[in-house]
Amino acid sequence: MDILYKIFIEPFVFMGEAPDLLIQTLWEGLVSGVLYALIALGFVLIFKASGVFNFAQGIMVVFAALTLVGLYEKGVPAFLALILAVLVMLVLAVVVERVVLRPLVNQPDIILFMATFGLTYFLIGFGELIFGGNPKEMITDALFLPQGTTELDMLGGMVRFQHLDIAAAVIASIMIGLLAVFFSKTRIGRALRAVADSHKAALSVGISLNQIWVIVWFAAGIVALVAGIMWGARSGVSFSLQIIALKALPVLILGGFTSIPGAIIGGLIIGVGEKIGEFYWGPLVGGGVETWLAYVIALLFLLYRPQGLFGEKIIERI
């Protein structure tokens, strides 16, 4: 009975006794969730356009951040380095379309998926060759990202808000909102939805698959750059950052691989769930809940709702 009390009763009693700590935990989970949603959005865009899970999105986050920091270390002014990093992601999108996607048109999805594996390890090797393998610090001061902490007396205690976390949440939210509007309201967005429904139908009405793929990969590259800046400012820039980026996989399973709202809701659920689980239930299992809880949630969804909360249920006739 004691273990049942500690699992099902004690954490909620603690939440009621220390509501300020609950608010602090929810805020930290919200920030992580928004950043997870931003990374997941890059996966969703490419999956909607090609039907392929882009395994390379994680290393694209690292490569974009390393490009920015590397250019700055070479003496390039911060905002010029930011513009050049965006151009590098455009070049990467064009190269991927020409070298990887175009030759593999009409190939099975597993072939394209394995091609993104190859792209991942190419970017790892190329990144280590150009920038080295040592961790780097994000240029937060040069980009005028805010530092410091604001403390608020709330619910009987002090709740701390890191200015960098506030900036990350605001920037990521604006980015998600702009991309959602762009791909739902513009001509390119309608073309993307047509490509997602049927490549052949899109081609029949004059939509260029090659152009759409470049646009989508470029958009995913910009998402990767913004995510790399935000995550790099919080935890440094290194190749281990791609592990954090792959946390978007449970987000996609939860929200649905083809749903932009699903990526947002899934990211928030995973981010808040991780922090709540780690803080209130982590001590019962010796900690580390934050590293595996998202994947347990994803496994449950795969068992009972594999299309996710907002994904489309696919029925195939045999």
Give a yes or no: residue 316 inside a domain. Answer: no
- Those residues whose C-beta lies under 8 Å from the C-beta of residue 76, and which sit 6 or more positions away, are 84
Digit-coded pLDDT (tens) for 100-125: 888 887 778 788 889 998 999 999 99
Residue numbers of the domain that contains 158: 2-304
9-63 pLDDT per residue, tens:
888 888 888 888 999 999 999 999 998 988 888 888 888 777 778 889 989 999 9
**Using CA atoms, how far apart are residues 44 and 52, in angstroms rounded to an integer?**
9
Q: What is the pLDDT of residue 7?
A: 80
What span, in angstroms and rounded, lies between the C-alpha atoms of 175 and 7?
Answer: 38
Where residue 155 sits, what CATH number does that domain have? 1.10.3470
Does residue 314 fall inside a structural domain? no
The answer to whether residue 309 is domain-embedded is no
Question: Quick check: 276 pLDDT over 90?
Answer: yes
CB contact set of 2 (below 8 Å; sequence gap of 6+): none
Q: Pick the more confident residue, 94 or 258.
A: 94
Q: Residue 16: its pLDDT value, please?
A: 86
User: Residue 94 falls within a domain, yes or no?
Assistant: yes
- Tell me: pLDDT of 213 over 80: yes
Could you tell me if residue 8 is inside a domain?
yes
Q: What is the pTM (predicted TM-score) of this model?
A: 0.90
Reference 40, options 183, 243, 249, 233; nearest CA is 249
- Which pLDDT value is given to residue 273? 92
Q: Is residue 152 part of a domain?
A: yes
Residue 190 lies in a domain: yes
What CA–CA distances, in Å, run from 6 to 11, 23, 280? 7, 21, 10
The answer to whether the beta carbons of residues 57 and 220 sit under 8 Å apart is yes
Residue-level pLDDT at 317: 56
What's residue 15's pLDDT? 87
Number of domains in the chain: 1
Is residue 318 in a domain?
Answer: no
Confidence at residue 30, expressed as pLDDT on a 0 to 100 scale: 93
- Which residue, 234, 267, 269, is CA-closest to 248? 267
The lowest-confidence range among 122-126, 203-207, 243-247 is 203-207
Return d(Cα 271, Cα 35) in angstroms, integer.
9
